[in-house]
Amino acid sequence: MERGSPVTTARSRRTPRRGVEASEAPYPLLRNFLTLILPIVAALLVALVIAAASALTTIVERAFQADATRRHAHILATLATDAPDALAQLSRGEPLNLTDTVRVRGLLGEEAARLDLSCISLAAPDGSVLLVNGVACPNPTPDQVARLRDQIERQLSTPGASIFRQIREPIPAWLVASVPQADNDFPVIVATFQDAGPQQGVISTTTIAWVGGLAAALLLATGAAVVLIVRAQREIDRRTAALNSTRDALARFVSNHVRANVLAEAPARRSESTVLFMDIRDFSSFADGATPEQAAALVRKVAEIGFNAVLSQGGDVDRLLGDGLVARFDGPARCDNAYAAAEEILTAIRKAKTPRAVGIGLIDGVVVEAIIAADDRADATILGRTVNLGARLCSAAGPGEVVAAAAIPHPVRGRLVEIGVETLALKGHRSPLDARRYALRVSDRI
């Protein structure tokens, strides 16, 4: 068999081979990000903004509560200086006379005006006495007074305790009530009301500044991530397309069985196959007298005919061998399919009127499917005694002939006729091999 001629690329002009694997789809990074990751990021962003706004509100409210408690201590100090007796009576829960009541309320009004408070109230430790003064003091009902006493008992029974409330009546305001520390001589409860508008403005401004800045930074980061992922997806698509193109190009050089074994990393195994060898008769003499283009055109045409015939009959081309090829057929009808492919090849060669004919060898038996590797090179093919005998039978075939091992049954259909039976002494084999020689019927020859 001639080895020196160019390897053909006949399959480039045919339809895709049966059994070629589907192209690898690129990993949907962008789609997964948009459908899975981005909604989670958006939800976390909203939750983070809400949490940040709530945290800022809490910080402002606690700062206001601490400042109000310091004001309460200052108010008590003023009353202890200007009306100590009335303050002592109030701390014991004793009602004040009219003069003391007016005196204390006047002091509360002055402090409310000086501190810009809507209302200041004083209550006995048990809530039994209540004094209020200011521009917007509430007028509690008996039920509200009862609830106030209960709240004082539960939340303001410990020295130094304080509470914060937002109220709506008579105006939206913040209420802070506190009890002096244990070392104070007058454990009177002080409560102050302050218009909530300025504080709400502070909260709104602070929230917009901090949360807006945080949200903008996160949105910019998310946008940058989307841009990078879009670019990454384009690169993934490009590389996947290149990989598929390269794989398809390389797949032209190997058979379906080879690709399946390589992809599955299958170990070496034995199988029953009918092996077909085909090569051009007397190609060396033709190549010596022809131009390189003419030699390549002949090899290309013959390879194209061989590929089409093998594939149309359900076979698989194992490999190209210079001016020939090796094919295999599997399954119960493998022998009949191999005969049909050989007949189709001989018929097409005669119709094409190529300057050289081909010879074909057929044999059925056990072949070894294996991957042969050395360093960074590897080949997956069939080998064994059956394959070697098939090559020898092909060498024994004349132009336009098929030499088949006698063990293969006669073809049950087609235009191949037996033209002889002989025993071949094959090079490299001790035992001779019985074979039958076939050719197209004379009436079918062109």
Evaluate if residue 184 carries a pLDDT over 50.
yes
What phi and psi values does residue 125 have, to the nearest 5 degrees? Answer: -55, -30
Per-residue pLDDT tens over the stretch 49-79:
788 778 878 888 888 888 888 888 888 888 8
**pLDDT tier, 13 (very low <50, low <70, confident <90, very high otherwise):** very low
Instruction: Yes or no: say if 296 and 5 are a contact pair by the CB < 8 Å rule.
Output: yes
DSSP lists the bridge partners of residue 280 as 358
* Residues 136, 133: Cα–Cα separation, whole Å: 8
- In CATH, what number does 255-444 get? 3.30.70.1230
* Residues 444, 415: Cα–Cα separation, whole Å: 7
- Which is it for the CA torsion 92, 98, 99, 101, positive or negative? positive
Q: What is the dihedral of CA 203, 207, 209, 214, to 10 degrees?
A: 160
Instruction: Yes or no: say if 419 and 439 are a contact pair by the CB < 8 Å rule.
Output: yes
**Nearest to 314, CA basis, from 14, 3, 19:** 19
Neighbours of 1 (CB within 10 A): 16
* Residues 405, 277: Cα–Cα separation, whole Å: 12
Q: Which two tokens stand for residue 391?
A: 């090559």
Evaluate if residue 213 carries a pLDDT over 90.
no
Evaluate if residue 211 carries a pLDDT over 80.
no
**Nearest to 259, CA basis, from 206, 320, 317, 181:** 317
Evaluate if residue 320 carries a pLDDT over 80.
yes
Neighbours of 428 (CB within 10 A): 9
Neighbours of 184 (CB within 10 A): 16
So what's the pLDDT on residue 16? 42
Spans of all domains in the chain: 7-253, 255-444
**Nearest to 277, CA basis, from 242, 240, 319, 249:** 319
Percent of the chain with pLDDT over 90: 31
CA 57 to chain centre: 40
Name the range with the highest mean pLDDT among 2-16, 52-66, 201-215. 52-66
3-state secondary structure of 211: helix
Give the CA diameter of the chain: 146
So what's the pLDDT on residue 256? 61
